[in-house]
Amino acid sequence: MASATTSAEILRHTTAFTSELLSQSSLRLRLSSVLRRKHPTSDQNVIRQLNIAAETLENAISTSNSSNRLPSLRRAEKLLQSHPDTLFSSFLLSLLYALLNRHIEAAHSLFNVFSSDPSLARSEIAPIVYEELFIIHLLPVLQSFKEQRFRILSSLSSKSLGYDSDKKSRFEKSVVVSGTRLLSKMSGGQTSELKELEMDYEQVLDENCRLLVGYFREVLSNENESKLTRPPSPILQKTVKCDEFKLNEDGQSKVIELRNCGPTWAEGERSVEFSSSSCSTKSKSPSFYPQRVSPKIFRNQKSRRALNAISPNLNSGSELESSSEDNLSTSSESESETQEKNRNMALFEPRGSRIQKQKQPIYAESSSSPERVMAADSDDLPGGGKCTPPKDFVCPITSHIFDDPVTLETGQTYERKAIQEWIDRGNSTCPITRQKLHSTQLPKTNYVLKRLIASWREQNPGHVSTHSDNPDPETDLIFSSTLAVLPSTSPNSVISQATMDGTISELRLAITKLCMSEILRESEKAVLRIEQFWREMNMGFEIQTMLSKPAVINGFVEILFNSVDPRVLRASVFLLCELGSRDKTVIQTLTQVDSDVECIVALFKNGLLEAVVLIFLLRPSTISLIEMDMVESLLVVIKKKQDDFLEMCLKPKVASILLLRQILGSSEEGIVPSIARTVASAKAINNIIESLEAEWTEERIAAVGILLRCMQQEGKCRHTIADKAELAPVLESFMGASDEERFEIINFFSELVKLNRRTFNEQVLRIIKDEGAFSTMHTLLIYLQTALQDQCPVVAGLLLQLDLLVEPRKMSIYREEAIDTLISCLRNSDLPAAQIAAAETIVLLQGRFTSSGKSLTRASLLKRAGLDKSYRTQMQVDQLSDTSKESEENLEEEQAADQWEKKMAYVLVSHEFGLLFEALAEGLKSRNQELHSSCFLSATWLMHMLNVLPDTGIRGAARVCLLKRFISMFKSAKNTEEKALSMLALSSFIHDPEGLNDLTSHMKDLLKGLRELKKSCILAVDMLKVFSDGNNSSIDWWNHTELVQVDCSAHGEVLSIVCFRDKIFSGHSDGTIKVWTGRGSILHLIHESREHTKAVTSLAILESGERLYSGSLDRTARTWSIGSEAIYCVEIHDMKDPVNNLVVANSIACFIPQGAGIKVHSWSGASKLLNPNKYVKCLTLVHGKLYCGCHDNSIQEIDLATGTLSSIQSGSRKFLGKANPVYALQIHDGMIYSGSSPLDGAAVKIWSAANYNMVGSLASTMEVRSLAVSSELIYLGSKSGGTVEIWCGKKLTRVETLQTGTNGKVQCMALDGDEQVLVVGTSDGRIQAWGLS
């Protein structure tokens, strides 16, 4: 009886099956289609619900978002559980539970399929599960039915086959008869009996499947395995023609021979061999040969082969032939011996694997028709003759005996040259079967057939080949030298000599069986015996030479292709490794045939982990290693306990480390980073770190290379490496390493000290400096003087960091040499790689890093400039905690980082009185963007550090070398960050009188950029304040230049202007809206629209910028979509009143109607009147509050949410008989600006929006009709004369007056987003643009 199955085994196989289904949509759809067809068509409602559930499940599988997937799975589960008894629902539930990681429930649902329809489940739905879990328990059933079939076939007499019984001589030799012919000689009763047996067999299998489902369910319910659940006895159903089937007397099931189970024999036409009962010996000439199938095909046909293995299709002629061969062929072994052999084979098979067939002589598919019979080499048979070769020894293309036979995936064998010529002509099919070939690359030579041909030729020396044969000397002389008499290994001892001779004789016999035997089990025993000889004896050179012969090596390879016994496979790999490590010709033999290497790799990836040593010895190219895709298997070996492996010439872990290093050393940039991340995330880092202490230097250096790549791609692993790595062995490896390996070790150390905690970095640096049997710094200094130029900066950077572990001294040879090297490389324009490496090294010397090892130099400098978004983002990625304890640690780390930064900056800038600044200035002139960027960052950092370093005159050197360069970069910087960094560097000179004087001479170039940065950088405000305090006249600060003027008088007055992004929009009194360019060529007309019938009084754009709104005297407001080159009206709103001064929010619009009050209009159509007692002249809307400037000089604030009205300025009576309306209102930075006439002495008043207190006024003499306010300036548009006054917002003094060149009113003004361009619209139809210069 088969041993008990554990719940872990059940879940492993069922989970593997469901996982494969979830990953292959085509397979899911095919199986779903099969199950739909099996469902009764009468119940359409159930079918519809199951289809909905299937579709929902498919959507959930294809969805990567887990939050969206879970609700879909719940809906599908609810639908399926309402119909739990159907095949389709059970199948879908197994997938659903697998997706939810509820694997036990998934297994139960899958077993429901087996219970409901066992035949369908094992043949179409889940044959893999059937093979892995069920077959091992069904061996007694299979054996019983095989015996019953044997009884039926044995009733066929020799007479029924047409042979005369008295011609005994005909049966003394093998006679090969086609299975199809055998079937034709059966009587009707025999055929019916076979069919009935087949039906009984299917029924018994079904019942046993249901029985085993119950057993598996019981095992799964016993989760903690507290009790042992025995497998049930198989059901052997009684039939009419046979007695009741029983188990063997010993209660054990027999391992039977099943066709197509073995992975290495091709399907083909089988022939049945009959012999007389008196015959006791085999035919001398085998009439058939084994045929190898590619391992790739074996994997692809895995399920189909297993299915064929367990289904004895008695209607098939080929099956009858197979059964006859299994049961009727004559053998020197008795039946009991055969059963014992089979039982022994089963002991080597791993649990859950499919039953493997013993390697027996079988036919490959004949090169002629299926009915063709390959006759034995006998004179008695028709057409036979001693010199007539068997037909399967002859190529069907050339009609000559094979010289180099190759067997294609279709089972057909051809001469290599002939089939290669066939393929070279463009054919991609098998010449005989016409089947499509998956690969046009020919397999290795069929050595088994080649040996059979050689044997036949020896027995038929009179045969004359019909063509010029070119026999392979290796085949003809397989053992000519191998079996030669070997000299005595111990001439002093007769006994030991005799023992050695006996052992060598046994070894020769084992080698002979390995190379010549057609029985797989014999070859496997030979391998185990040879391994025993190797381990127990001190193998001399002669014996090693014996085993290194190509024929023997090919014999081992045949075992790798054919055997499924783990012991045999491991022994074969062990022997090949031992031989290959001693003899290069063994490796040459193995690498001559690509399929041999592929087989070894496939075995390794399938769990034969010792094969990694053999792969390493084969020395595959790096590209080949990447294509083999065996990183996961290498990591399995690295993580596995080494005690679990055989003792070999090289430890599997060492081979894996060396191969992994070779892969990661590839130049394939698109693949290697992902492999390195896989290694870093596979939790194998600790095992690789252990190799840093290995005795073998090559292993230590390989581990260094792997860890270096992991740190470069997945930086967070450097914390684990720094914490656990022993660096002393690595330092000792440095002395004996090659130059390339030395640089890799230095790179490793440089990466290792990129930790995000400064104190940890210094601890690691001390270990590097102090450990090891020699002076690290002296060794680095010597290496620095001989290293390649582009490697020198990294070496110099590490040496400089080690030197700074103590307080900087006045003189240090290590420091001087390191900095000189950095400057020399930075100036070497002939080698840009060295320049870039030097500049990047200086950037890294600042010493601040993220947890992934990325430099924080740029982010920290931007933070100091006031742009701390980048710094905060990287800190959030590092996930720093805010607990008090960690806050204290962070404070300590920050102090340590500041101290390190000061020390490093001091020694760099002090070297040769600022010589580094000259080198950086030269680098900033480079057109190489990478070099320029690194030099820019390095120079910015060092110039900024001048503010905190003692002034030793170095600031003057920096000013001379870099000031003008940074002013130029500040002016030309295209983005805010570059401008902010330039400003940070320049800020180091504002407190230096000479530096400030130089900056003041370029003040006009600096002011514009500083004003742009004022919004985001407090440092810009400070610099502007310094410049302002040092300049008595504000007038010198501001200068506006007219950019362009356009005449639109044909469209009447310009009543409204608004700027948005790169466009300017203007509204005119004839109803026209024009769109102008706002950047580059300003006021270039790109579109105009005249859909309003009367004047466009106002334009407004929401902050979102999605829509433009226009208000008109034609009583409508229109919504426009803003395109890249035009605007499009998308909505028209009937406002019921002429629209003046339109302001909009998300859902409402406010405007001034014809009479008193303010109209609030909802976009849905509703409207109401606010402030009905006031005649309003101007409006502005900010944050839900509406500000009104009235005809009586009053100003009100209305909260639109509550309707509350507050008075900011009370109205006044007419002054000297004249009204004093508020014509313009602007809200900016919490201040309210109102513009009116200067009757009361101030044309513009400034109020606080928080408490309504007046905080200032502008004593302009103009009547202000329009206002525009920037962060620094206030623009006033006059009623007449076309004048625009500009006032300083801080000092409230007039700084400039602009003349538009017209006598009309300045009716509207607008500023662009950068506050650098002022656009003015006048009553005489002119539009002008002024730029702040």
Q: Write out the two tokens for 206.
A: 């079904």
Where residue 499 falls among pLDDT bands split at 50, 70, 90?
low
**Closest alpha carbon to 682 in 632, 647, 738, 721:** 632
The mean pLDDT value for 501-514 works out to 80
Lowest-confidence segment of 107-121, 287-301, 601-615, 1023-1037 by average pLDDT: 287-301
Length of the chain: 1333
Instruction: Enumerate the H helices of 295-446 as residue ranges.
Output: 295-300, 302-310, 317-328, 335-347, 416-424
Contacts of residue 588, Cβ cutoff 8 Å, sequence gap at least 6:
none
**Closest alpha carbon to 522 in 363, 358, 364:** 358
Q: Write out the two tokens for 617.
A: 């010895």
**Local structure of 1262: helix, strand or coil:** coil
Residue 155, pLDDT score: 64
Q: Write out the two tokens for 1325.
A: 């139809």
DSSP 88-145: HHHHHHHHHHHHTT-HHHHHHHHHHHHHH-HHHIIIII-HHHIIIIIGGG-HHHHHHH
Q: How far apart are CA 1188 and CA 1158, in angstroms?
A: 9
Contacts of residue 1177, Cβ cutoff 8 Å, sequence gap at least 6:
1152, 1189, 1190, 1191, 1221, 1222, 1223
Residue 1080, by phi and psi: left (phi above 0), alpha (psi -120 to 50) or beta? left
The torsion angle over the Cα atoms of residues 1210, 1215, 1219 and 1225, rounded to 10 degrees, is: -40
Where residue 201 falls among pLDDT bands split at 50, 70, 90?
confident
pLDDT at 362 over 90: no
Residue 744, pLDDT score: 93
Instruction: State the number of CA atoms in the 13 A half-sphere of 1009 facing the CB.
Output: 27
Residue 344, pLDDT score: 40
Residue 180, pLDDT score: 41
Residue 677, pLDDT score: 85
pLDDT at 131 over 90: no
DSSP single-letter state for residue 161: G
The mean pLDDT value for 210-223 works out to 86
Amino acid at 91: F
Residue 156, pLDDT score: 55
Q: How far apart are CA 1014 and CA 1272, in angstroms?
A: 10
Residue 840, pLDDT score: 95
The mean pLDDT value for 1302-1314 works out to 90
Q: How far apart are CA 928 and CA 470, in angstroms?
A: 64
**Closest alpha carbon to 574 in 521, 605, 613:** 613
Task: Give ∠ CA 561-565-570 in degrees, rounded to 5.
Answer: 80
Rounded CA Rg of the chain: 46
Q: How far apart are CA 833 and CA 1218, in angstroms?
A: 79
Instruction: State the number of CA atoms in the 13 A half-sphere of 734 facing the CB.
Output: 27
pLDDT > 70: percent of the chain: 78
Q: How far apart are CA 675 and CA 714, in angstroms?
A: 11
pLDDT at 761 over 80: yes
pLDDT at 586 over 80: yes
- 459, burial (CB in 10 Å: exposed 0-12, middle 13-18, buried 19+): exposed
Q: Write out the two tokens for 972.
A: 């030309």
Most confident of 140-154, 421-435, 773-787, 1021-1035: 773-787
Crossing angle between the packed helical segments 672-681 and 697-713, to the nearest 10 degrees: 100
**Closest alpha carbon to 1284 in 1305, 1313, 1315, 1312:** 1305
- pLDDT tens-digit readout, 377-386: 333 333 334 4
pLDDT at 197 over 60: yes
The torsion angle over the Cα atoms of residues 1255, 1259, 1262 and 1268, rounded to 10 degrees, is: -40
Q: Write out the two tokens for 1096.
A: 């466009």
**Local structure of 1244: helix, strand or coil:** strand
- pLDDT tens-digit readout, 964-994: 899 889 888 888 889 899 999 998 888 778 8
- 530, burial (CB in 10 Å: exposed 0-12, middle 13-18, buried 19+): buried
Amino acid at 470: N
Residue 251, by phi and psi: left (phi above 0), alpha (psi -120 to 50) or beta? left
Number of H helices, E strands in the chain: 50, 32
Contacts by 497-503 with C-beta closer than 8 Å and gap 24+?
503/533, 503/537
Residue 705, pLDDT score: 93
- pLDDT tens-digit readout, 811-864: 788 999 999 999 999 999 999 999 999 999 999 999 999 888 899 999 999 988
Q: How far apart are CA 1052 and CA 1046, in angstroms?
A: 13
Backbone angles phi, psi at 1040, to 5 degrees: -110, 140
Are the CB atoms for 448 and 289 separated by under 8 Å? yes
Residue 1094, pLDDT score: 95
pLDDT at 174 over 50: no
The mean pLDDT value for 406-428 works out to 86
Residue 497, pLDDT score: 53
In angstroms, the first-to-last Cα distance of the chain is: 98
In this structure, how many other beta carbons lie within 10 angstroms of the beta carbon of residue 1011? 20
Q: How far apart are CA 112 and CA 122, in angstroms?
A: 13
pLDDT at 1088 over 90: yes
Q: Which residue has the higher pLDDT, 1277 or 265?
A: 1277
**Closest alpha carbon to 21 in 133, 127, 119, 136:** 127
- What is the reported pTM? 0.53
Q: Which residue has the higher pLDDT, 738 or 47?
A: 738
Q: How far apart are CA 265 and CA 362, in angstroms?
A: 9
User: What's the whole-number average pLDDT of the chain?
Assistant: 78
DSSP single-letter state for residue 526: H
Buried b (16+ CB within 10 A) or exposed e, 761-782: bbebbebbbeebeeebbebbbe
**Closest alpha carbon to 853 in 881, 822, 874:** 874
Contacts of residue 384, Cβ cutoff 8 Å, sequence gap at least 6:
375, 376, 377, 378
